[in-house]
Every structure is written in structure tokens, then in C-alpha cells.
């Protein structure tokens, strides 16, 4: 009997601990507006991965999954914590954990933060086994609300039918105040745990309420940020176009942030900070977010760092295409060959290089790489800051499959030209790279006029002027004035918002004069 009581105590405590874990996870997700199961399901590469990917393919199924996930965790957690419907809750919890395990087993690569495991064993697996053991106990074996209710119910039956011989009393139950306290003690413990969690997470905080009431969301040091959107907030998949036979999303993710090349003016620490933030796993997570939103193309520089990350991402089942920014040097096309050998969909000459070779009148140094890319079966193009590159391609019959051209207006406060006394700077010199790192398109009117007469697909980039222009403004300006696609640098927490903006703009009346050539 003594050993039996010890077992009851131990497994009661174990049930409460696991119940608290479920409950905490559920409530934390409920009060996190940016949470979604999309990232976890996107990572699936093992059994039923196709089904898991299908679940996030549209908003309705994703919202159902998220709802069931959150409330499943909460209800299972409450039942296990207080001891109600224990067997059903334990079985349901075990099944849920097995689904988590199958979606992302520990022996498969994943960007999901890892928890200590030994090849095939992780905490999901261990907790599922423990719940199966708990489910094997009789429902009235452990101290719980259910045990007390069963006793009360059977006592009433005994009074109503005194001649009945088979009235069941919970095993080891004795009709004492101590037994009642044991069964009901979990209730104040439950309330205390919830209060502690609320304090810990700041849901009950007079200090934060006071700060929130006084904070100036624009100028205060305690900056109030908007809600971070998750995939379940997606309005629709980003529309797509074509370059030759290749389908590309109308907005593409750019690589400057990921490569750590930030146009951060005099904030010299930002590039280093970006490289610390964008670990391999963060880059892969960002691409998963893009893929879920319908952004199927990434414009990344061609180097070993990019290739390492892309190969890791593709190995895990990623499907985003790579449009490679390359760096040919005269006759040396080795960088382009590297992009081709590592799976690039297409390649283009980096804008700074194209500007320089045209300025130095070395037109063949632009023609040769473009022709080489096309001859290898890839889509080929050139980027440009200067209008002179576009004009040189037309006048010298350099046949590109697409142009990439910087494009933004100057209606932002930091758009300061090199010489304030001469704001009309020429767009055929190096000034675009020296305009205080603030201007990348010297004349958006000249660019728009050029493309009104040119049928080559156009990918606009620097459309936000390195963050100085709001996304809605920058994208609408680009698409209205003839851009077929837009390359956008973005953090992981900006992907859904930018996708929603693009979706809304591209499904509205743009009053666009130029036909779509992509």
C-alpha cells in the first residue's frame, strides 16, 4: 500500500507537469498574433510531407490547423493538469505529439530550433510515451478532480440503490478530508500557475500598461511596433509572370540584407549586425516564408556563402528559384559558370560592373557574359543603375531576356543630391553610387519613358530606396510606371506584409500605360 501511494504521487505530479507544458504552449500561441504552424509544416520532409505542405497551401486549411493546434493544446493541458477525462486527454496528447514528431523528426535537417535529442529520440517522443503510460492507468487511479467526481457519483448511486452489490469505489479511496484535499489541491495550484505565467509574459503588468498609455509611437525611445503578420494573415498568393518559359513571382526577394550589404548611411555597424542576424537557418526560414506567400524567386549574389545556403535549403525540399547576380571580369566568366553549375535559373551582370564597362566603352565585356548565359540555356540579363547601360544594350543589339533597373522617386527627406546647387545630375556617370548612399535612380521619369518604348521584361530594384520609401508607395510606383517585376529586400518578419501589399496592388487598377511584358 505504501508503494502504491508513492506511485500515485509520482504519476500525479508527472501528469500535472505535462499538462502544464501543454497548457503553456497553447496559451503562448493564443496570445501571440504572429504565431502560425506554417513554418513548422513547411519544414516537413519525412512521412506525409506532401499532406503537411498541402495544409498550408491555402489560408482556410492553415487557419483550421492553427485553431485546432492552439485549442487542442489548451484543452488537453487543462484536462491533464486538473485530472479530468484523463485517459482521453492523454491519448489525444500522445497523438498530437506523434504528429509533431512525424512532421519534424530529430534525424531530419530543420531550421526549427533544436531541442536535445539522440538521433531518433526528442522530447516530443518521450512525452508521447509517458502519456501512453498515463492513459493505461484506470481513470480514477491518480489523484484528480475526476477521481473525486467518480467517488461522489458512486456514493449517490449507493444511496439510491442500497441493495446494489457492484458499486465501484476508486481503488485506495478512503472517505476522509485528507483524500478530498488531495483531489482538489490541484485547483489553487492551477490558478497560481496561470497567474505566474501571466506575470512572466507581461500580460499582467501595471508598468507596461502605464508605458503603453504614455508611449509616443513615433518619437519615443519605447517604440510601439505594429503586429507582425504570419502566413495565416496572407491575403493571397503573390501573382506571377513569365520571362521566356519561366514563371517568376511579381515580387522577388533580394539578397543585400542576407549578404550583409546594407545601405545604412553612416550607421556603420548595421552590415555586421545583419550578418549576425541572418544565420544560415534564418535565411532558410525567410525563404520558407517567401515560398508560402507565393514568392518563388530569389535574387542573390553568386558566392560560396549563397551557394552553401541554397544547397542546404534545396536539400530540405525548398523550391525557390535562384536568379544569380554575377561578376564577370573581361574574359573571366568563372563566376557565371559557378552560378550555372549550382542550379541558377538565370543570371545577370551586376549593375555596378555593367555601369563601369559601358562608361569605359568596353561593350564586349557586357555582350560576352550575356551571350554566354543565354547559350547555356539560362535566362540572361543585366542590371544597371545608369540609363546608359540600357541604351547601350539597345544600340549595340545586346539581346537580353530581362533588364534590372533601379527605380524609385525622390519624395523622401534623405534624397540629397551630391551638389544641392545642381540637383539635375546626369544619369550616365558614377554619381548614382556616390549620392550620399541615398539615391539609386537619378530620374524615374527617364526610366519610365525608356520602358514605354521597350518590350523587354523589366525587374525594378531599389524600389524602396533602401527603406526610405514605404513598401506600398514604392511597389505601386514601380508597377504603375511599367515594371513587370520588383526585387525587394526584406526581413523574415516583413515577408507577409510585403506579399499582401503586392497582392493588393496587382489586383487593383494601376492606370498602367505600358503593357505587361513578363
- What are the tens digits of pLDDT across the range 494-510? 999 999 999 999 999 99
Of the candidate ranges 94-103, 183-192, 396-405, the one whose mean pLDDT is the lowest: 183-192
Q: What is the pLDDT of residue 38?
A: 82
Q: What is the pLDDT of residue 261?
A: 79
Does residue 52 have a pLDDT over 80?
Answer: yes
Q: What is the pLDDT of residue 484?
A: 98
Question: Distance between CA 178 and CA 363 in Å, rounded?
Answer: 93
Does residue 178 have a pLDDT over 60?
Answer: no
- Ramachandran angles phi, psi of 111, nearest 5°: -85, -10
Across 38-52, average pLDDT: 83
Domains observed in the chain = 2-200 (no CATH), 240-506 (3.20.20.70)
Does residue 322 have a pLDDT over 90?
Answer: yes
Across 339-355, average pLDDT: 95
Residue labelled with grid coordinates 523574415:
492
Q: What is the pLDDT of residue 470?
A: 94
Neighbour-count burial for 18-37, b at 16+ CB within 10 Å, e otherwise: bbbbbbbbbbebeeeeebbb
Does residue 517 have a pLDDT over 50?
Answer: yes
Across 310-320, average pLDDT: 89
pTM of the model: 0.71
Q: Is 363 exposed, middle or buried (0-12, 13-18, 19+ CB in 10 A)?
A: middle
Determine the straight-line distance between the first and last CA of the chain, rounded to whole angstroms.
79
DSSP lists the bridge partners of residue 121 as 118
Q: What is the pLDDT of residue 333?
A: 96
Most confident range (mean pLDDT) of 148-162, 166-180, 361-375 is 361-375
pLDDT in tens, 151-172: 666 666 666 655 555 545 455 5
Does residue 342 have a pLDDT over 80?
Answer: yes
Q: What is the pLDDT of residue 205?
A: 47
pLDDT grade for 141, boundaries at 50, 70 and 90: confident
Hey, is 488 helix, strand or coil?
Answer: strand
Question: Distance between CA 107 and CA 114 in Å, rounded?
Answer: 11
Of the candidate ranges 207-221, 281-295, 367-381, the one whose mean pLDDT is the lowest: 207-221
- Ramachandran angles phi, psi of 401, nearest 5°: -85, -20
pLDDT higher for 106 or 142? 106
Residues with Cβ within 8 Å of residue 416, at least 6 apart in sequence: 435, 436, 438, 439
Residues with Cβ within 8 Å of residue 436, at least 6 apart in sequence: 265, 414, 416, 418
Question: Distance between CA 433 and CA 406 in Å, rounded?
Answer: 12
Does residue 220 have a pLDDT over 90?
Answer: no
Q: What is the pLDDT of residue 49?
A: 83
- What beta strand segments (E) does 280-326 contain? 297-301, 321-326
Q: What is the pLDDT of residue 222?
A: 33
DSSP lists the bridge partners of residue 383 as 404
pLDDT higher for 461 or 145? 461
Residues with Cβ within 8 Å of residue 320, at least 6 apart in sequence: 253, 287, 290, 291, 295, 296, 297, 298, 313
Q: Are strands 240-243 and 246-249 parallel, antiparallel or unpaired?
A: antiparallel
Does residue 417 have a pLDDT over 50?
Answer: yes
pLDDT averaged over the chain?
A: 82
Q: What is the pLDDT of residue 42?
A: 80
pLDDT grade for 348, boundaries at 50, 70 and 90: very high
pLDDT in tens, 83-125: 889 999 999 999 999 999 998 888 877 666 655 556 788 889 9
Across 278-295, average pLDDT: 89
Q: What is the pLDDT of residue 224?
A: 36
Output the CA torsion sign for 20, 24, 30, 31: positive
Amino acid at each position: 500500500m505504501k508503494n502504491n501511494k508513492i506511485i500515485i504521487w509520482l504519476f500525479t505530479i508527472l501528469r500535472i507537469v505535462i499538462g502544464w507544458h501543454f497548457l503553456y504552449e497553447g496559451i503562448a500561441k493564443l496570445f501571440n498574433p504572429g504565431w502560425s504552424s506554417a513554418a513548422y509544416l513547411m519544414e516537413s520532409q519525412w512521412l506525409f510531407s506532401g499532406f503537411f505542405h498541402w495544409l498550408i497551401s491555402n489560408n482556410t486549411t492553415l487557419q483550421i490547423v492553427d485553431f485546432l493546434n492552439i485549442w487542442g493544446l489548451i484543452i488537453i493541458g487543462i484536462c491533464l493538469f486538473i485530472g479530468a477525462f484523463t485517459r482521453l486527454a492523454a491519448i489525444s496528447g500522445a497523438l498530437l505529439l506523434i504528429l509533431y514528431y512525424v512532421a519534424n523528426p530529430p534525424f531530419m535537417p530543420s531550421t526549427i530550433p533544436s531541442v536535445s535529442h539522440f538521433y531518433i529520440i526528442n522530447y516530443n517522443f518521450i512525452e508521447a510515451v509517458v502519456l501512453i503510460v498515463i492513459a493505461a492507468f484506470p481513470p480514477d487511479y491518480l489523484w484528480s478532480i475526476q477521481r473525486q467526481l467518480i467517488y461522489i457519483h458512486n456514493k449517490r448511486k449507493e444511496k439510491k440503490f442500497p441493495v446494489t452489490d457492484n458499486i465501484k469505489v476508486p481503488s485506495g479511496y478512503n472517505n476522509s478530508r485528507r483524500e478530498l484535499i488531495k483531489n482538489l489541491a490541484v485547483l489553487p495550484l492551477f490558478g497560481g500557475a496561470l497567474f505566474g505565467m501571466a506575470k512572466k509574459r507581461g500580460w499582467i503588468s501595471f508598468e507596461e500598461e502605464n508605458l503603453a498609455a504614455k508611449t509616443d509611437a513615433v518619437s519615443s525611445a519605447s517604440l510601439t511596433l505594429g503586429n507582425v503578420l504570419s502566413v495565416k494573415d496572407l491575403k493571397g498568393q503573390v501573382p506571377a509572370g513569365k520571362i521566356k518559359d519561366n514563371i517568376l513571382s511579381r515580387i522577388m526577394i533580394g539578397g543585400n540584407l542576407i549578404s550583409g550589404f546594407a545601405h545604412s548611411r553612416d550607421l556603420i555597424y548595421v552590415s555586421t549586425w545583419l550578418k549576425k542576424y541572418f544565420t544560415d537557418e534564418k535565411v532558410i526560414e525567410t525563404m520558407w516564408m517567401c515560398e508560402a506567400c507565393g514568392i518563388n524567386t530569389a535574387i542573390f549574389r553568386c558566392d560560396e556563402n549563397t551557394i552553401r545556403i541554397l544547397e542546404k535549403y534545396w536539400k530540405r525540399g525548398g523550391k525557390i528559384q535562384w536568379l544569380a547576380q554575377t561578376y564577370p571580369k573581361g574574359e573571366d566568366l568563372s563566376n557565371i559558370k559557378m552560378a550555372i553549375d549550382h542550379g541558377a535559373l538565370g543570371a545577370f551582370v551586376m549593375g555596378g560592373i555593367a555601369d563601369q564597362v559601358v562608361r569605359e566603352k568596353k561593350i564586349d565585356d557586357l555582350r560576352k557574359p550575356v551571350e554566354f548565359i543565354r547559350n547555356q540555356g539560362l535566362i540572361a540579363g543585366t542590371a544597371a543603375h545608369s540609363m546608359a547601360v540600357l541604351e547601350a544594350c539597345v544600340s549595340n543589339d545586346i539581346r537580353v531576356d530581362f533588364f534590372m533597373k533601379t527605380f524609385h522617386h525622390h519624395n523622401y527627406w534623405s534624397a540629397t543630391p551630391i551638389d544641392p546647387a545642381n540637383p539635375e545630375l546626369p544619369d550616365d556617370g558614377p554619381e548614382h553610387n556616390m549620392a550620399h548612399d541615398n539615391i539609386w535612380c537619378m530620374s524615374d521619369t527617364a526610366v519610365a519613358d525608356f520602358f514605354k518604348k521597350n518590350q523587354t521584361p523589366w525587374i525594378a530594384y531599389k524600389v524602396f530606396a533602401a527603406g526610405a520609401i514605404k513598401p506600398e508607395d514604392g511597389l505601386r510606383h514601380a508597377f504603375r510606371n511599367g515594371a513587370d517585376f520588383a526585387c525587394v529586400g526584406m526581413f523574415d518578419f516583413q515577408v507577409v506584409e510585403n506579399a499582401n501589399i503586392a497582392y493588393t496592388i496587382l489586383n487593383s487598377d494601376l492606370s498602367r500605360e505600358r503593357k505587361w511584358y513578363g
